[in-house]
Chain A
Amino acid sequence: MTDAAELRALTQELLAAHPPGTTDRVDFLRARFDAGLAWVHYPRGLGGLGAPRALQAVVDAELTAAGAPDNDPRRIGIGLGMAAPTILQYGTEEQKRRLLRPLWTGEEVWCQLFSEPGAGSDLAALGTRAVREGDHWVVDGQKVWTSSAHLARWAILIARTDPDLPKHRGITYFVCDMTDPGVEVRPLRQITGEAEFNEVFLTGVRIPDSRRLGEIGDGWRVAQTTLNNERVAIGGTPIPREGGMIGKIAATWRERPELRTHDLHQRLLGLWVEAEVARLTGVRLRQQLVAGQPGPEGAGMKLNFARLNQEISGLEVELLGEEGLLYDDWTMRRPELVDFTGRDAGYRYLRSKGNSIEGGTSEVLLNIVAERVLGLPAEPRTDKDVAWKDLAR
């Protein structure tokens, strides 16, 4: 098995062969992928070494110390956090070889064509149709809230292949080429002023059957891998004390004594404590994963993350007083990356509102915790054994 010392040695070899100072950024990232140091827990040949996931930190620390470029995860969160684990689990050898390397280096950006105007929390109700024509599928429908669609080369897509089956069973999972004819991306402006997400119209888009992920009709199961990883990706990343949103307001508090009041102080300390407890909960969760005892705390991390981001950024706007009445820029833009803790407090406050909606709403996540962790009765269902085409809409 690969250990920390070996990884350190491999990282130093990579740095010696491709000195970051004189190597092109993408060349360096490709070399890192090929050396198995991209995500060490992935298999050999696919950017990893089959090593324990926890050892990634060893590689990252060495590379950071050497000033090596990273793959800017804020630009490619959907690819790294959602598409990659799904491709790894369900993709063919050929799909893995073609798709994972440029996904990881950031040469190809991914987006997620799941939500539709009529299918959000009830994603399995989706109505985008994929009809088989020889060795292709022809896709027609509309997707919405698609983050990064304007930047994406590829999309993970779920579509209905059999409307006569109950809704969970007639779905198939595809990789969609966003440059294909018939794919139209239109920006949707958000409350922040910019358009991070889009609506995507699919009209007669032809997807080769070789870009299907998993079996025909098995798309709901495949999508579970994506959705479970999404929740870990949003809110599950390790952070140091005062990492994330709380670090921003703490810095403002320290730098701006004139803004302090007793009321704000008490609320800040309360949120500081909660942020630290949420961080420790994450540390404990990762220790459980490493010890091979996956804990149910995972489902809760995103709930904590969303609530704390919203409360902390809300407090920060209030702390700023007169400045809190201003906003940095309402210009409509289509941003290159998603950064929850970026820009100013007003932006952070508005953007964080999405944290309890994207990747499953907090209400839906509470249902999941109640049912899967606490074993409480499921919501009453009227749609389980009804053909999708006969459902109310």
Chain B
Amino acid sequence: MSAQPEPALLYSEEEDALRAAVRDLLTDHCDPADVITRTESASPHDVSLWKSLAGPMGLAGLLVPEELGGQGATHREAAVVLEELGRAVAPVPYLTSAVVATEALLACGADDLLTEVASATSVAVLAVGLHVAPGGPVPGVRLEGDALHGELTGIADAAAADVLLVPADDGGLYAVRATDATVTPQTSLDLTRPLARVTLEAAPGRRLGDSAPAVRRALRSGAGLLASEQLGLADWLLTETVRYLKERKQFNRQVGGFQALKHRLARLWLEVAGLRAAARNAADALTTGADTDVAVAVAQAYAAQVAVRAAEEALQLHGGIGMTWEHPVHLYLKRAKADSIAYGAAGTHRSALADLAGLPKP
């Protein structure tokens, strides 16, 4: 294989500063106990947290050009935000609106909607099931005259959306106001990124552009940056488990001193270090455009097992307390498990690599 240009895998000073700002805000406004309580309330999304992240901090418009009211930043910064949101399992529509839907709008040149999203006036959500991988089959609704009819399921964060971006059977992507659709929550495994069913009955839509390239671009960015969210989950789980095991005493000693556990945690640390490199690589490749398909597929083929293992190990190593509704580890487990399906499971991305790396199937 030809020599690859070396990706930049560290965090810049600006990225560190951005991280610190987001973490401060989340420390003050995203307490795990409140997140747990909110999951069973009428509004599982934390709208006021979203307003402070999106508005004053300008995070909703990171990927939107400055002339449209955004920050004109890159996927590298968005990845840092996702790491922090993952560490806090924050119930906000960042990945879905500020990354995935924004990419679809950028692909379509929908400047007015980009301005709405960047200014945090609207939350936009791509009406494609969360499980769909980049390049995977995308169900569309029926276009009859100039109205849309049909039902789409598994749409993450649709309950928080003001605008839905809906693929239709004419090959177009349509903007539909949420007030013109029926959005019904589905009982979801991941309590902090709930899914919903979107039903359109003669809903008015505005054609933004071709659906296929926009959806593909959106899902590729979603998959690539999801790895940073998974890194955030895994990083929090490892840190918290190490902290707990240094404190917890049984058999007259710190439980974290038993070698069987030290080795499990050391292995997990090694995997998290790998995930950090893979996630940074995907974010950098989405930014530079070099080697992007491989970088995204590698990150997604690797990330899920690390995040899920981190959650499963954290639960086991917390003992009984880890099994309670009260302890936040279950929020992470549910998110990590759902993330392992989101934007394509690891096996789907491995299959993509078979083509990309030239390792054909039998």
Contact = CB atoms under 8 A, between A and B. Distances in A.
Interface in A365-392: 366-367, 369-371, 373-380
B359 A284 contact: no
B304 to A, nearest CB: 11
Contacts of A380: 257
B262 A371 contact: yes
Nearest to A268: B359
B354 A283 contact: no
A369 B269 contact: yes
A134 interface: no
B10 A283 contact: no
Contacts of A250: 357, 359
Contact of B10 (A266, A291, A379): A291
Interface stretch (A42-50, A167-175, A180-188, A253-261): A253-261
Nearest to A367: B262
Contacts of B6: 283
Contacts of B277: 277, 280-281, 283-284
A341 to B, nearest CB: 16
Interface string A238-263: 00111000000010011001001110
A272 B357 contact: yes
A241 B297 CA distance: 15
A202 to B, nearest CB: 34
Give the bracket for the number of chain A residues in contact with chain B. Answer: 35 or more
B47 interface: no
Given A265-B361, A273-B350, A300 B259 contact: no
B298 to A, nearest CB: 5
A285 to B, nearest CB: 8
Given A363-B263, A366-B263, A369-B270, A266 B350 contact: yes
Contacts of B281: 280
Nearest to B262: A370
A306 to B, nearest CB: 12
Interface string B322-362: 00000000000000000000000001001101100111111
Contacts of B42: none
A260 B8 contact: no
B273 A300 contact: yes
Nearest to B280: A284
| Residue among A253, A376, A380 with most chain B CB within 10 A | A376
Contacts of B261: 376
Interface in B241-290: 242, 245-246, 253-254, 256-257, 259, 261-263, 265-267, 269-270, 273-278, 280-281
A280 B257 contact: no
Nearest to B358: A254
Interface string B1-34: 1011011111000000000000000000000000
A378 B270 CA distance: 19
A237 interface: no
B278 A269 contact: no
- The secondary-structure label for the interface of chain B is helix
Interface string A289-314: 00101001100100110000000000
A254 B7 contact: no
B359 A254 contact: yes
B301 interface: yes
Contacts of B262: 366-367, 370-371, 374, 376
B231 to A, nearest CB: 12
A254 B362 CA distance: 11
Given A283-B9, A377-B246, A377-B253, A277 B278 contact: yes
B246 A376 contact: yes
B302 interface: yes
B1 A242 contact: yes
B274 to A, nearest CB: 4
A270 B3 CA distance: 22
A190 B8 CA distance: 42
A280 to B, nearest CB: 4
B257 A376 contact: yes
Contacts of A371: 262
A277 B302 contact: yes
A276 interface: yes
Contacts of B254: 376-377
Given A269-B351, A363-B263, A373-B269, 4 more contacts: A277-B298, A283-B277, A284-B276, A366-B262
Interface of A: 240-242, 250, 253-254, 257, 260-262, 265-266, 268-270, 272-274, 276-278, 280-281, 283-284, 287-288, 291, 293, 296-297, 300, 303-304, 363, 366-367, 369-371, 373-380
Interface of B: 1, 3-4, 6-10, 242, 245-246, 253-254, 256-257, 259, 261-263, 265-267, 269-270, 273-278, 280-281, 298, 301-302, 347, 350-351, 353-354, 357-362
5 contacts: A272-B359, A273-B302, A281-B277, A287-B10, A374-B269
